[in-house]
Chains A and B, each alone.
Chain A
Amino acid sequence: DSGVTQTPKHLITATGQRVTLRCSPRSGDLSVYWYQQSLDQGLQFLIHYYNGEERAKGNILERFSAQQFPDLHSELNLSSLELGDSALYFCASSVATGGRTEAFFGQGTRLTVV
């Protein structure tokens, strides 16, 4: 158990809908990262928050947004869902961003858009 909690574990929804994925980082970790993993793309970085502030954006679509709350948990919002958004969405946390600070991953949310 990495200490990173993601909910829900599985989500099935229809095209055009909106969903929210939730992540609670490890106790004491200020950094939260969101990644998308699909079969043909590998782990793609979406967005990074540090202590409530957005620090970096990767290949995140405009239909997607995220935030980190004062208690450091984070939510990833996916809207106007398309079939191609079906993927595993991972949240990871780390205590900082540099040095020998590895990221610890949650178990992921498997999103299926039908």
Chain B
Amino acid sequence: GQNIDQPTEMTATEGAIVQINCTYQTSGFNGLFWYQQHAGEAPTFLSYNVLDGLEEKGRFSSFLSRSKGYSYLLLKELQMKDSASYLCAVRDHGGSYIPTFGRGTSLIVHP
């Protein structure tokens, strides 16, 4: 199985940049996902990393270092609507490739 660790809560200012970290331990890494979840709503897919490096998609970027068991999600030009929970999920070779989710980081963006 996996052990996934994320900060519980972060706050940032509108227009700023924020980095949400995720560390994990797994026996057979097979990909890392980031999801956004607004309160009471469904998680929505943001990014996927399986190789080391940075994946950029608009205002959001995700980085992976497999040797360090580390990923981060970078959000630029923060908007109020970015206030949400950000979930890191790790998939491994064991079982049937089911992503295991961390508890999520609640991001609060204030004016």
Contacts and interface: CB of A to CB of B under 8 A. Distances in A.
Contact of B96 (A56, A88, A106, A107): A56
Interface in B34-61: 35, 40-45, 48, 50
A30 B5 CA distance: 30
Contacts of B30: 98
Contacts of B99: 45, 103
For the complex, would chain B's binding face be called helix, strand, loop or mixed by DSSP majority?
loop
A47 to B, nearest CB: 9
Contact of B87 (A43, A98, A104, A107): A43
Interface magnitude class on chain A: 20 to 34
Nearest to A57: B95
Interface string A75-97: 00000000000001010000001
B73 to A, nearest CB: 15
B33 interface: yes
Nearest to A6: B42
Nearest to A98: B97
A42 B103 contact: yes
Contacts of B16: none
Nearest to B41: A107
Given A55-B96, A90-B42, A105-B43, A42 B48 contact: no
A42 B44 contact: no
A43 B97 contact: no
Shortest 7 CB-CB contacts between residues of A and residues of B? A42-B103, A105-B42, A43-B101, A55-B96, A56-B96, A102-B45, A97-B97
16 contacts: A2-B44, A41-B103, A42-B87, A42-B104, A43-B43, A43-B104, A44-B101, A56-B96, A56-B98, A99-B31, A102-B33, A102-B48, A105-B42, A105-B44, A108-B42, A110-B40
